[in-house]
Amino acid sequence: MADKFILNNVIGELSPGAHIAVKRQAPPSFPDEVTPDGDGYYTHHGIYVKNPEGRDTVIHFWGERKSSAKVCSWDLEQFRSYGVDNELYEAQYKVRPLALQKTVEMAWKELSSPTKEWKYNLRTENCETFATYLKTGRGFSPQAQKSGWNILTWVSIGFAVVAVVCFLLFKLFKR
- pLDDT tens across 4-40, in order? 778 888 878 899 999 999 998 877 666 555 565 667 7
Query: Domain count of the chain?
Result: 1
DSSP states along 105-145: HHHHHHHHS-SS----BTTTBSHHHHHHHHHHSS---HHHH
pLDDT tens string 48-95? 999 999 999 999 999 888 888 999 999 999 999 999 988 999 999 988
Using CA atoms, how far apart are residues 47 and 59, in angstroms rounded to an integer?
5
Which pTM was predicted?
Answer: 0.78
CA atoms within 13 A on the CB side of 27: 5
Tell me, what's the pLDDT at 121?
Answer: 83
Q: Which domain CATH number covers 104?
A: 3.90.1720.10
Quick check: 155 pLDDT over 80? no
Q: Could you tell me the residue range of the domain that residue 66 belongs to?
A: 5-174
pLDDT tens string 119-154? 888 778 899 999 999 999 998 887 766 655 444 444
